[in-house]
Amino acid sequence: MTKSNLPENRLENRFPEKEPLLTKREATVEANRCLYCVDAPCIDSCPTSIDIPEFIRRIATENREGSAKTILESNILGYSCAQVCPTEVLCESTCVFNEMDEEPIRIGELQRYATEPAIENDVQFFEAGEPTGKRVALIGAGPASLSCAHRLRRYGHETTIFEAKSYPGGLNTDGVAPYKLHAHQSLKEIDYVRQIGGIDIEYNTAVGKDVTLEELEEDFDAIFIGAGLGPDNWLDIPGTDLDGVWGAVDLIAKMKVEEGYELPDDVHTACVVGGGNTAIDVVRELRGLGVDDVMLVYRRDEASMSGYEHEWEGAKKEGARGVWFSQPVEIVGDDHARALRCRKMRPASDDPDDRSLELVDGSDFDIDCDLVVVAIGQSKLGDLFADVDGVELDWGKIVIDAETGRTGNTKYFAGGDCVSGGKEVVDAVEEGKVAARSIHALLTDDAEASADEESTETAPSPVT
């Protein structure tokens, strides 16, 4: 892997890929199975609207490079999206084969097959536009900002990304499950994206701390906020300060990027608190690392989990179990967590539409465990922008006009998790792309630029 400054001995490297790169034969068979539908529903269910039938046809005609171009034209992070997208609920969910009760086309795997050689061999399809002399600051080097910056470079604007951490990629580098994508793959892709030239990244530079918004406003013509979400939300119960209690995103990042990090040897039983995708990810990761008994502890029932069904089914196959209607009330231990004390919950009424729960007095029980992981969401970073004129917040999320990515302040645009409160990489990519169009319109006084772009997708100057 080139230019990746990640250490070699990272815990995530112990995870094999769940879906290895298709062989040529597999890709050919699958690509030829695709019907090349007209007005294909899969395109509509890809947030970045990749022309899926076209890229698959290009695989079938042995135009693999042209296939990569079709993908990257709509989604410059198409290589990692191919691996991290929940295709089961996105493109593949609307494949017409589902209508015949047949397996949908393996779109994600074909997308990786198409893009991987382009990334590996640095085949560039896009050129930077004629310099406009305009400068855009982007906050956070996650998928939203990277997508926005690449598009802005195609328009010819200068871009500087300010990133609090020492590496780029946001959660795509240090959050997504390692059996889907390894951190070095994310970094490799970012190297590739930056080959367009002129995407500067200032690492270890937290906006609001190392550089102020006033300074950015002064130095730049527009600002894109792609800061994602903040640290893990925390349980407000006794015992969370014990050793062996972790925030999910914190723990995952350690596994993915920290040199030599290991789970303590004596972890045999773990409780993961939460019911979302991050909780399920942690469960599967811990099982993958050999933790004997991994339980997902959730205050509602299985059917009410917000995490994807296919992910939870996978976790169960891997040996995880769920503990339902259970609310942690204390983490028990001396120095180190020894058990998670829970209280039973039950629906507050018989009305199935009423989702409220009540605690059952006297129902406390302890789950013995060596590790407690708190996966109840990430905090919102909106406060940082509370004082910016016109920028509106909704429970810490930044409010934008979805069509344009504009905030209430003409200079500020935003996209990604800091707006949505937490969606997928592919959504962040799309929102970055949309914002780039309106930033371009702002900077070129071209009110129609964004409208024109909409339909044709012809950002200037593809090279090959």
Partner 1 sequence: MPDLSVNFAGIKSPNPFWLASAPPANSGEQVMRAFDAGWGGAVWKTLGQPIVNVSSRFGSLDYGDRRMIGFNNIELITDRPLEDNFREIEEVKRHYPDHAVIASLMVETKEEWKDIIARSIDAGADGLELNFGCPHGMCERGMGSAVGQEPKVCQEITSWAVEYSTVPVIVKLTPNVGDIIPPGRAAVRGGAHAVSLINTIKSIIGVDLDRGVIQPPVNTKSSNGGYCGQAVRPIALHMTNQLAQDRQVNIPISGIGGVETWRDALEFIYLGASTVQVCTAVMHHGYRIVEDMIDGTERFMRDKGFETIDEMVGKALPSYDQWGNLDLNHEIIAKIDADLCIGCQKCVAACHDGAHQCIHVGEDSRVPYIDEAECIGCNLCKYVCPVPDCITMVEVDNDKDSMTWNEYIAAKERGEDVEHPGKSTHQTHF
Ligand X SMILES: Cc1cc2nc3c(=O)[nH]c(=O)nc-3n(C[C@H](O)[C@H](O)[C@H](O)COP(=O)(O)OP(=O)(O)OC[C@H]3O[C@@H](n4cnc5c(N)ncnc54)[C@H](O)[C@@H]3O)c2cc1C
Which residue among 3, 5, 16, 25 contacts partner 1 (CB under 8 A)?
A: 25
160 near ligand X, judged by CB under 6 A: no
Token pair for residue 86?
């929940």
How far apart CA 176 and CA 311 sit, in angstroms, is 13
How far apart CA 432 and CA 434 sit, in angstroms, is 6
CB 218 to ligand X: min, Å: 17
CB 129 to partner 1: min, Å: 18
What are the φ/ψ torsions at residue 143 (nearest 5 degrees)? -55, -40
Of 333, 328, 344, 334, nearest to 233 by C-alpha is 328
Q: Which of residues 36-75 bind partner 1 (CB under 8 A)?
A: 36, 38, 54, 57-58, 60-63, 65-66, 69
CA distances from 138 to 9, 192, 217 (A): 31, 19, 11
251 near ligand X, judged by CB under 6 A: no
CB 274 to partner 1: min, Å: 44
232 near ligand X, judged by CB under 6 A: no
SS3 221: coil
Contact partner, 54, from ligand X, partner 1, none, Cβ < 5-8 Å per class: partner 1
Which residue is associated with the tokens 């920290």?
A: 258
Which residue among 76, 82, 91, 141 contacts ligand X (CB under 6 A)?
A: 141
Token pair for residue 251?
């723990």
Residue 366 gets which letter from DSSP?
Answer: E
How far apart CA 235 and CA 277 sit, in angstroms, is 18
Q: For residue 416, give the amino acid letter.
A: G
For partner 1, the closer CB: 123 or 190: 123
For ligand X, the closer CB: 30 or 417: 417
For ligand X, the closer CB: 420 or 438: 420
How far apart CA 153 and CA 146 sit, in angstroms, is 11
84 near ligand X, judged by CB under 6 A: yes
- Kindly write out the interface string for residues 384-413 of this chain, putting x where it contacts ligand X by CB under 6 A and - elsewhere: x-----------------------------
Strand partners, 330: 341
User: Which stretch, 222-230, 234-242, 312-320, 322-330, contacts ligand X (CB under 6 A)?
Assistant: 222-230
User: Which stretch, 264-272, 292-300, 342-350, 414-422, contacts ligand X (CB under 6 A)?
Assistant: 414-422
Q: How many CB atoms lie within 10 A of CB 40?
A: 21
CB 42 to partner 1: min, Å: 15
How far apart CA 363 and CA 344 sit, in angstroms, is 6
CB 245 to ligand X: min, Å: 17
Give the residues lining the site for ligand X (CB under 6 A): 84-85, 139-145, 162-165, 170-172, 175-177, 180, 206-208, 226-229, 249, 252, 278, 281, 381, 384, 416-418, 423-426, 428
